[in-house]
Every structure is written in C-alpha cells, then in structure tokens.
Structure 1
C-alpha cells in the first residue's frame, strides 16, 4: 500500500485475479452455448513463448531479408509495450489514444515525440485526421503483436542511427517483421518447440477443465473455435487438461464442436467459407458439404472441423439466435468486435493484464484521490475566473457608456482590482495545471513506466477502454474465472456516469458554488 493511500481492510479489496466485470447484462440462464478461442484465451503463454517468435523473427530478418547481422543480437523486453496501442507503420511511431481518438502519447522508436510534433502529425487539420482503421495503422489488440511492436521500435531506432544499413521504409520494415513472425508460426520454429515441451511455454490453468465440465453439466453446449491447426491445437489442449504424457483424458469430451484453422475474423463474416472434417487420429481432412443430414448423426461421424463459418457452427449447435451464444476470446478485433457487432453474440474478453491494473488501482487510490481534489480545485478556479471575466465585461461596458456621456475615461479602481485578481488567478491556474500534469504522469507511471494505465489516457478513457465497454459484455483476467460463478449467474452492470454526475459528486455547481465575484458591481448572481 502506498504512503498516499489510507489503510484498508483486505476483505474489501477487489480481486482482479478472479472477478468477472460486466458492461452489459447477461442472464446466463438464456445462454445455450459457450465458445472459446484457444491461444491467449484457454491457453496463456509465458515469456519463453514470446521469445520463440522474437528470436525466430529477427533471425529470419537477417537470413531472408538481409538485415544487418547486428539485428540478430537484439534483446527483447516483453514489458515495454501494452495492448491498446497503435503502430503507425509509415512514420515509425507507436501511439496511445483516448476514447475520442485524440493521440495523447507518441513514440518514434523508443523516443517520445514532443507535444508540438505529435499534434502536427495527428491533428493538423480536420481534413487529414486519421481514423486509425487505415492500412497504415496496426492496432495492438492481441498479445501476439507485442513482439511485432518491440522489434519494430528497435529497427526504427537502428535505421535512424544507421540509415545506410537499412534503406527500407518504416512501412516495409513492419511488413518484413510481420512476414517473419507469421513464418515462425507456420514453419515449426514456434509450434515444433511447443510440441516438444508444452510445459516450458504454456501456463497451466487448474480451473479450466472444472469450468468446462461445470457448463456442460448444466446443459450448455461448449465449443472451441481457434485459428490454430489441428496438430498444434491437440498438443496445447492435451497439455491443458493435465496430460503430460500419453493421453489419459480425451480433451475432445469437453466440447460439443471443435473448429480449428477457422481463419477468424473471416469465420465470422464469410458465409461461403467451406468446411472440412478433421480425423483426430492422423489429422487428415475430408470435405463436407456443410452440415449433412441430421445434426446428431453428422456429429457422430466426427466433431472436429477445419474452416467453415458461423452458420455451420450455429447449425451444429442447433441454435438460431446469436443472443444465446457467449464467446470468450482475447483478440479485440477477431474474437470480440466481429462476433458482437456482426452476429449479436454475447462476448467475454480475456484481459490477462487486468489483475495488475486492479491491484495498482487499489494500491495508489490515495494518489488518485489527491489528483481528483486538484482537478476539483481547478474547476472551481475556472468558475471564479469566469465570474471575474463577466464582471470585468460589465464594468468596462458601464465605463464605456459613461465615457460617451462625458464622464472619466480612466479605468476605475474596481476594474483595476478585478483585473489584478483575474491575473493572479490565471497565474495560480497555470501553476496548478503544472502540478496536475506532473501528478497525473506520476500516477500513470505507477501502472506502466511508459504508457500508464491500460484503461485511461490522461484523465479520459483510453481507446482500448472504449472498445472493451462497447464490445465486451463481460471481461475478466482468464477464461476459467467463468467457473468461479454459477452457470445460472446473472451478470449485472454498474451505473454509468456522465460528466454532470461527476460534477454533482464533486460538489460543483456553477454560480451556486461560490458568490459571484463582482456581484456588487451589478452582475446578477
């Protein structure tokens, strides 16, 4: 607990490790099927897994794209970047936005851009403000992309220092990185190593099997939809159910339907995508013309498939409404946004970073309260200055009218006094702004040394937070947390707040807050 935080009883502390938070109400009694992604959802990976992609990609950059040999000696820092950031491929930048898409932080490589440069790049005019959905931007909306982001920043730095050694554009550099990382996933650099020793790369989750059995036992249908192919999926899931050697529990028994190689988000969009049945014994594929015949008889021939689309899935689950489906995933775009916006599925976003965020929120609650008090004082100061502005305007207008009638033209003592008070308040406001800015930076750095809070940018919600609140019905640290509650749970929302709610909570109220300065000069209260 920080020195700025009051002592608290542990029984009242929020547990970010196990809690499920709700944005949109879900009555689980209405959910008939629960589906899961695999990578970074059911299966959480450790640093060693990220290093497989990082080390493999940088070596391929040297061997395949002829990057300098020095690139092979780069070292990885898995903690530098966070989800919710955006890569600007053309400029070599990584940026963080608030919910209004205002860029509040921007780094070129590992160097922060000055405020003036940042603003000139990302809000120069109303005609060229980007939407950040263009192909020149990459949203870091999955933990897989942290490797890409770090390697990109390293190469941007290297190119700037040694322009003669890397002549590719920043955009070309990112394209090469993406190709190399993808190749690591396809050619066995990653998956062969994981298959050799799953425990070295996958974080065990003792609650996963219990959670799946709990929902199946309640009559819900469970399904798996992953972009990984069968061989790798079988390795990972076999490890997760606790089989360290020859299989002694068939993980397929935990699911009604398993779809591998799904090609999300295409799986959620392309009605014409064809489906093949996978033979678990040898991984061989056989074309099927959709769901052939009665569903039960069709699945009795094998329930593992590759490809297909959401229509095939719902037919096999005997469902017609997306509102009866809850899908659990970690990828904001491929798992959550598309299933929610296009199909109306209920969604659960897995956010492994959540526990750290919740713990820091509680640890540094005192700092936050202090900042809010400074902000309240600044708002009160704004009201006082506004009253002075209006009082000065009234006096000037009255004195101007008097001058036209032949009265004195020198500013009155009262006007000079009010002008002096206004100047003093403006100077005090500037000092308070500096204090708030420094305090906000210090507070954010308690959460992350570079990018601050995951769910905030400055005093606003971050773009990531807005996406979570818009597209994730519920969110939690890990999928197995759904097993910590009853299958009949009704997830309920907390009350949303608008600025006027906050103003009332802070005791702000315009003219009613303080006596209007200058009211004795004729300004109405």
Structure 2
C-alpha cells in the first residue's frame, strides 16, 4: 500500500527519479548493518580505540531512524518536532526523571544547534546510532576511565563525546566511501538519465559541474557537458536544474523517490517543487505491530482520563483521582512501544509524533515501505489525500501515523 499526504495524479508525472541506496538497491537487513558495524569497529580499533569494543555485536532491535545524538553529553535522544524529549538513553541505559533533568532542565533541546545535536535520519545511520550507544556503554563501564559529564578521562587523556562523534563519522566515511571492486552489470539500459556523485543536498541548490563519465574506464571527461541527453550515458555532478533541462520538464513533472528525508525529500521539495515519495522500509514492521497489538490499547482508551471530568467545569472545586488511570495508560503505552523495539516506534512515542514522523508528513507527498508498491497501481491512478479537519487526527484505517 502507498500512503498519501498530498494528492497526486500519476498521469501528470512525466519523469520518475530514484535514489540508489536503500531505494533501488535494497540491502539485506540486518545482514548489511551487521557487516557495516563490524567494519566500523575494526576501523576504530585501527586508529587507537580499545580492542575490547570488538566484542560488541549489532542489535537490530535497539536503534531506529530519527534519533538525535547529543555530542556534548553523549546521549541518544528521541524528540518530537518541537524538540521536546520523548526518550533519552546514555549508552544502553534509559534515563528517567531527575537524570534527564540533570542534562536537560527543561526536557527540551535546541535542534538548530547543529554542532551539538546531530539528527540520524538515514538508514545508514542505524549502525552509527548503535555504535554511539556501544562506545558510551563501554567507556562508562570500563574501570580504566573516569566518567565526566562531557566525556571520559584516562590519565592525561580526555576523550570528549564530540571527538568520539568525529571519529565515528570518519569511520563511516571510510567504510562507505572507500572504493571497492564491483562487477559490471548491464543496468544502464533501464534508465533515460543516470547521474552519479550528485553530492546531495548540494545537488538541489547550486550543484556542481556536470561532466560525462567514460563508462569504459570510469573516469570523468574534461570540461562541462553542454550537449543533449544521451541514452545510457552516465553523468557526474550537475544540479536539479540541469536535470530538468536535460529531460525537458519542470519540477512538478518529476516524482522523486528516496529514503533520506533531508538529502532526498526535503531539499527536492523545498527548492525545486519536485513531487516526492519517501521509502520507509520500517513501515512494514510498524503496520504489523499496530495491527497485532493495537487491540490491547482498548482498555486504556475505555479509561480515558477525560471521563471523570465529564460533569466538571472551571467553577468546580472537586479534583477526581485519576492516578490509577494514568498508570494504566502509561503501562499499556510502554508495552506497545517495546513491541516496535527498544527505542519504540519510528513514528510515535505514546500519542506524540516523533520528529521523523513530522518531517515525513510535511515533505513527502507519498510514502510506502518500497517503491515497488507502485506495481499495484495503474499510471492513471489518482492518489487522493484524506480530508482532515484542523485539530483532528486521522484514524488508523486511513493513515498509519
């Protein structure tokens, strides 16, 4: 099934664009993440990290997309669209009450502080998020290191969480960007235009020089390519404006599909007006859990805290005791969240939407677990967004969020 945020008529779409990783190329999960995680650990050890960290294994039930890493305190955070904290973990230990207030007195973060708070929105970030938790867990429990609020001390050495973040990012680049020998496959004939090394999100702004790739050697031809579109040719760089010119279309004529909210969806929507389709592989699991477990929430719904106040108004002095109802709701909510994973649902924490869900609703016209879901719709299909009144929420039957 394909879910709709904004109506879209397929017959008006002239070009379909695809991101490669996790969109066209669907990696075997969690096998791919396990391999990437092991390579990350090996690289960190090679630059001086303790060899004991090699004992950690990737746990697919822990990380979820949309988490925020606090490079000052080393915490993994789950927040809503306004920056309010929903979940806070230091390593694999989930903080509660006074512990959270120690770091965040208002249970709120300034998401605009990009040097401190780093949003882990992509599927590649799953291994990165789990690695942060493993490193924090190791150094926190290792007797050789003294725990500090902003890092760890060992003799004359102080390792801050910010330096740890930089090391992990460098390791990510090494693992994912280092050149590897790959077999040649006859895949180019399936596409009218192929562009590599686009450097998103720069691609959706001023872009870079468009060059043609020599498909025999893999090297770039000198100079800027200014000719017409050549079928099966491969280009490097360029910009979204250049792509529109080569294809002879406008932004609204393109439906672009990708898995990265920031790099693929947000920038293509805000800067070019492209129609957008977000690939959310986790959606299949989210829908399965919701279908199987949502019935267990009915007892909590039946004891909604509004019912004791049915006959009360602003002039009433009576204060009904709803503590047992609140505990029951909290228990059911926690049990439901844990069905999704240790960090809960990608889209919600209880009744509150996550930052990821809010961005999905704002910037993706359509979304589904896979772009292959289009095979079940004719090209004349009209995706129509369900009408929603201001202040109301959509029922699960029409929308998973």
Give the TM-score normalised by the residue count of structure 1. 0.69
* CA displacement, residues 2-37 of structure 1 (integer Å, 9 cap, x when unaligned): xxxxxxxxxxxxxxxxx1111000011111111000
Q: Shift in Å at residue 312 of structure 1?
A: 1.3
Bigger-Rg structure (1/2): 1
Kindly indicate whether the alpha-carbon contact (under 8 Å) linking 1:159 and 1:167 is maintained by their aligned counterparts in 2.
no
Secondary structure of the residue aligned to 2:118 is strand
1:432 aligned residue (304, 325, 330): 325
Q: Shift in Å at residue 57 of structure 1?
A: 1.5
Q: Shift in Å at residue 430 of structure 1?
A: 1.3
2:108 matches 1:173 = no
* Within-5 A mapping of 1:509-524: none
2:393 matches 1:466 = no
2:271 matches 1:342 = yes
Aligned to 2:149: none
Kindly indicate whether the alpha-carbon contact (under 8 Å) linking 1:291 and 1:312 is maintained by their aligned counterparts in 2.
no
Kindly indicate whether the alpha-carbon contact (under 8 Å) linking 2:69 and 2:120 is maintained by their aligned counterparts in 1.
yes
Q: Shift in Å at residue 145 of structure 1?
A: 0.7
Structure 1 residues not aligned, in runs of 5+: 1-18, 197-234, 239-249, 393-421, 503-525
2:247 aligned residue (285, 310, 317): 317
Provide the rounded CA distance (Å) in 2 between the counterparts of 1:141 and 1:391. 47
* Within-5 A mapping of 1:43-192: 43-46=25-28, 47-64=30-47, 66-119=48-101, 121-122=103-104, 124=106, 129-132=109-112, 134-162=114-142, 163=145, 167-188=158-179, 191-192=180-181
Kindly indicate whether the alpha-carbon contact (under 8 Å) linking 1:291 and 1:316 is maintained by their aligned counterparts in 2.
no
Give the TM-score normalised by the residue count of structure 2. 0.89
Report the CA distance shift for 1:156/1:132 in structure 2 as closer, same or farther (over 3 A). farther
Provide the rounded CA distance (Å) in 1 between the counterparts of 2:361 and 2:11. 22
Tell me which moved more, 435-444 or 129-138.
129-138
Decide which structure has greater helix share: 1
Aligned to 1:445: 338
Kindly indicate whether the alpha-carbon contact (under 8 Å) linking 2:212 and 2:225 is maintained by their aligned counterparts in 1.
no
2:296 aligned residue (367, 372, 379): 367
2:233 aligned residue (276, 282, 303): 303
* CA displacement, residues 134-189 of structure 1 (integer Å, 9 cap, x when unaligned): 2212212111011111111111112222325583111111110110121122334x
Aligned to 1:479: 371
Report the CA distance shift for 1:264/1:274 in structure 2 as closer, same or farther (over 3 A). same
* CA displacement, residues 445-474 of structure 1 (integer Å, 9 cap, x when unaligned): 2222x2222211221222111111100000
Provide the rounded CA distance (Å) in 1 between the counterparts of 2:68 and 2:202. 22
* CA displacement, residues 282-311 of structure 1 (integer Å, 9 cap, x when unaligned): 21211342433xx2xx526x6211111111
Report the CA distance shift for 1:185/1:391 in structure 2 as closer, same or farther (over 3 A). closer
Aligned to 1:221: none
CA RMSD of aligned residues (A): 2.2
Kindly indicate whether the alpha-carbon contact (under 8 Å) linking 2:83 and 2:109 is maintained by their aligned counterparts in 1.
no
Q: Shift in Å at residue 90 of structure 1?
A: 1.5
Provide the rounded CA distance (Å) in 2 between the counterparts of 1:335 and 1:265. 7
Provide the rounded CA distance (Å) in 1 between the counterparts of 2:241 and 2:165. 35
1:357 aligned residue (277, 286, 306): 286
* Within-5 A mapping of 1:244-263: 250-263=186-199
Kindly indicate whether the alpha-carbon contact (under 8 Å) linking 2:265 and 2:364 is maintained by their aligned counterparts in 1.
yes
Provide the rounded CA distance (Å) in 2 between the counterparts of 1:119 and 1:473. 38
Runs of 4 or more, structure 1, over 4 Å off, are none
Q: Shift in Å at residue 431 of structure 1?
A: 1.6
Provide the rounded CA distance (Å) in 1 between the counterparts of 2:13 and 2:178. 39
* CA displacement, residues 38-82 of structure 1 (integer Å, 9 cap, x when unaligned): 100011112332233212221111112x11111223222122100
Provide the rounded CA distance (Å) in 1 between the counterparts of 2:89 and 2:95. 5
* CA displacement, residues 100-137 of structure 1 (integer Å, 9 cap, x when unaligned): 33111100111111123324534539xx8412552212
Provide the rounded CA distance (Å) in 2 between the counterparts of 1:186 and 1:489. 39
Kindly indicate whether the alpha-carbon contact (under 8 Å) linking 1:259 and 1:304 is maintained by their aligned counterparts in 2.
yes
